[in-house]
Amino acid sequence: MNKMIEDAPRINSFAPPVFIVGMNGSGTTMLADSLGKHPDLYMFPNEAKVLPFFMHNLNRYGDLSTIGARRRLADDIGRTKSFWQVNGKTPLVLADFQLDKPGFRGVIHAIFNELASREDKQRWGEKSPMNLQHITALAKVFPNAQFIHIIRDGREVAQSFHRRWRYYPQRTIYRWKKLVAMGREHGHRLGSERYLEVFYEKLTENPENEMRRGSAISLIYLLWTKSQNRLCAWWMPTKFLVLTNA
């Protein structure tokens, strides 16, 4: 076991996670894929979708200060479809030494840190659109987490929903208004250091301007690493942008 601990990747176990949120069809996957190209940020490739469920059902696991309770929780999460798929269609199982931090936050960090370490990355992010409805709860569990809310023109979202699933545009627009308003209200309460809104149309037209405006640099500081003078290639559908630390 000591050898396993020595060989474990040296990463910051509580590095601030990044949650990309937004109405379905607003570009959460596009943005996650783009940010995931940074050498220090691991973006979970699927929509996990399960964090709110487990967050609100922790009573079934008992005292998460004990390794037994953390083991049960981690194993249940590791068996869910999204983690099963990302782990090569096999349940994700952590070693006990990886579950050394107590609480729900400790378990979630351990799971995502394991996946991030496989790509030699220091920080993790997740892109489930449904987390838009749980910003406040997630912000309490992860007090240093940062949220990127991507917003797309509701008419385009409605058109996409109708084309893909034959949803009535009126219902989609109603849901879009409710969810965007909820996300903005809850996000703004966190302040500009933890919450950033980006707009799909502006992002695809001029990604550099959109990501550099306002507090974007302090929030998405991981677009470049000054200490190592890195360049980060950041893919967008319309161009291939290289950001520097100049």
Q: What is the pLDDT of residue 4?
A: 33
Q: Choose among 229, 226, 230: nearest CA to 217.
A: 226
Q: What is the pLDDT of residue 36?
A: 87
Lateral strand order in the sheet of 146-151: 41-43, 123-126, 18-21, 146-151, 195-199
Within the chain, residue ranges assigned H as helices are 2-7, 28-35, 51-55, 67-78, 81-86, 103-117, 135-141, 154-165, 169-190, 200-205, 207-212, 216-219
Residue-wise pLDDT tens for the chain (246 aa)?
Answer: 333 333 344 455 678 899 999 999 999 998 898 888 888 889 999 999 999 999 999 999 999 999 999 999 999 999 999 999 999 999 999 999 999 999 999 999 999 999 999 999 989 999 999 999 999 999 999 999 999 999 999 999 999 888 888 889 999 999 999 999 999 999 999 998 899 898 999 888 877 676 665 454 445 544 434 433 443 444 333 333 333 333
Q: What is the pLDDT of residue 13?
A: 66
CA angle (52 as vertex; 50, 54 as ends), nearest 5: 70
Q: What is the pLDDT of residue 131?
A: 97
Place of tokens 């469920």: 53
pTM score: 0.84
Tell me the one-letter amino acid at 146: Q
Q: What is the pLDDT of residue 212?
A: 63
Q: What is the pLDDT of residue 148?
A: 92
> Under 8 Å CB-to-CB from 37, ≥6 apart: which residues?
232, 233, 234, 235
Sign of CA dihedral 192, 25, 40, 70: positive
Q: Is 115 helix (H, G, I), strand (E, B) or coil?
A: helix
Q: What is the pLDDT of residue 91?
A: 98
Tell me the one-letter amino acid at 227: S
Q: What is the pLDDT of residue 126?
A: 97
Which two three-digit tokens encode residue 47? 């929509």
